[in-house]
Homo-oligomer: A and B are copies of this chain.
Amino acid sequence: MRKGNTIFFDKNPCIASYAAVCGSKEKEGIIGGYADVTLKDDMYGESTYEKAERKMLSSAVQMAVAKGNFTEGDIDLMASGDLLNQIISASFSARQFRFPFLGVYSACSTMSESMLVAAMAVDSGYSTAAVAATGSHFASAERQYRYPLELGCTRPPQSQWTVTGAGACVISKKGNIKIKNATIGKVCDWGVTDVNNMGAAMAPAACSTLIQHFKDTDTSSEDYDIIITGDLGALGSRILKDLMWEKGYDISENHVDCGEIIYKVIEDEFQGGSGAGCSAVVMNSYIFTKMSAGLYKNVLFAATGALLSTVSSGQGESIPCISHAVELEGI
């Protein structure tokens, strides 16, 4: 069923299992004790950053499948994408597993988009067990979007740090976390052109999707134990709270941003984490574990993505952003 921009699932698609891999810096923070694999060396035994990123994604998928007592043959859909050009991490992982594969892309909102697509397929009976997954790697993102690491460029204080990590979940009809509905995002662009200030660019997209979700589902912020955004970082998170407040919603008590909470020590990462892997690892380790333990019951997850490229920014464009939301219920 559809209402507004929200699709309601009535056939009970659930998170059957989940897994996460994170890097050495991420291990020091909140998810260190929850991720299934934490890397000592972010190269993960590979010869390039891109191959390390792909291996993390594949590992997360493989573990999520195994933890749910699925065989690889049980999985009949993989919905995945990532930040690298032509989403090579996802495509090459799909090559490894030979799952029927739908490539998706919404930058750092890819975790919620892939969950949305997988839940749609399971709810409609088009899939019995679908994997949703994404990841990112600090070093591959830096060299693709910014500067070669070897240059040692300084970073401005409004910047964030791309998370090294990957997360995956299997969505099927059985599990103790139900996917109740999902709100499809619209592209928002408030004219921000500073590619180092993704939080400011993405906050309006999160605001738009959260308000749309509240209207479509006839809920408000207090109906959720926790409202989780993807990777707005500390600054973006504050902007979101302000924007929501202006629209009459107070999320100050129960809003958490994955980018803001992922790192323990604020050092080079300034505003916190970002990247498709940011919300992927936080959700697929810390949050789903807490939900499974009954600590959170009603959870709204709205990952946020900045849909720019180096070419669009180079051609003077501002940064279009999107946020897809998924409502979860611990059962």
Task: Kindly provide the distance from the CB of A111 to the nearest chain B CB, expressed in whole angstroms.
Answer: 13
Task: Kindly provide the distance from the CB of A177 to the nearest chain B CB, expressed in whole angstroms.
Answer: 21
Quickly give the copy total for this chain.
2
- What 1/0 flags go to A196-207 for Cβ under 8 Å of B? 000000000000
Determine whether the beta carbon of A127 is less than 8 Å from that of B2: yes
Contacts of A7 in B (CB 8 A): 121, 126
Determine whether the beta carbon of A88 is less than 8 Å from that of B311: yes
Most buried by B among A1, A50, A120, A312: A312
**Which one, B77, B87, B128, contacts A184 given CB within 8 A?**
B77
Task: Kindly provide the distance from the CB of A318 to the nearest chain B CB, expressed in whole angstroms.
Answer: 9
Answer whether A92 and B317 are a contact pair too, CB < 8 Å, given A100-B186, A120-B121, A185-B100: yes
Assembly CA distance A320 to B95 (angstroms): 7
Determine whether the beta carbon of B2 is less than 8 Å from that of A76: yes
Task: Kindly provide the distance from the CB of A127 to the nearest chain B CB, expressed in whole angstroms.
Answer: 6
Query: Which chain A residues (282-314) contact chain B, with CB distance < 8 Å?
Result: 307-312
**Which one, B50, B86, B312, contacts A105 given CB within 8 A?**
B86
| Tally of contact residues, A, Cβ under 8 A | 58
Residue of B nearest to A11 (CB): B124
The reply on A326 being an interface residue by CB < 8 A is no
The reply on A106 being an interface residue by CB < 8 A is yes
Contacts of A124 in B (CB 8 A): 120, 123-124, 126
Determine whether the beta carbon of B88 is less than 8 Å from that of A309: yes
Assembly CA distance A94 to B103 (angstroms): 18
Contacts of A312 in B (CB 8 A): 50, 86, 88, 92
Determine whether the beta carbon of A189 is less than 8 Å from that of B95: yes
Contacts of A309 in B (CB 8 A): 84-86, 88
The reply on A322 being an interface residue by CB < 8 A is yes
Contacts of A103 in B (CB 8 A): 81, 104-106, 113, 307, 322
Determine whether the beta carbon of A84 is less than 8 Å from that of B126: no
Contacts of A214 in B (CB 8 A): none
Task: Kindly provide the distance from the CB of A19 to the nearest chain B CB, expressed in whole angstroms.
Answer: 21
Contacts of A320 in B (CB 8 A): 91-92, 94-95
Not counting A98-B186, A124-B124, a sample of 18 additional A-B residue pairs whose C-beta atoms are within 8 angstroms of each other reads: A7-B126, A48-B315, A84-B309, A85-B85, A85-B310, A86-B309, A87-B307, A88-B307, A91-B307, A92-B317, A92-B320, A95-B188, A100-B186, A101-B106, A101-B184, A103-B104, A103-B322, A124-B126
Interface of A toward B, CB cutoff 8 Å: 1-2, 5, 7, 48, 50-51, 76-77, 81, 83-88, 91-92, 94-95, 98-107, 113, 116-117, 120-121, 123-128, 144, 184-189, 307-312, 315, 317, 320, 322
- Shortest beta-carbon contacts, A-B, top 7: A100-B184, A91-B307, A86-B309, A95-B187, A124-B124, A103-B105, A7-B126
What are 21 sample pairs from A and B whose C-beta atoms fall under 8 A apart?
A: A1-B126, A5-B76, A5-B100, A50-B312, A51-B315, A84-B311, A86-B107, A86-B308, A88-B311, A91-B187, A91-B307, A94-B187, A95-B187, A95-B189, A98-B186, A101-B106, A102-B106, A102-B113, A105-B105, A120-B120, A124-B126
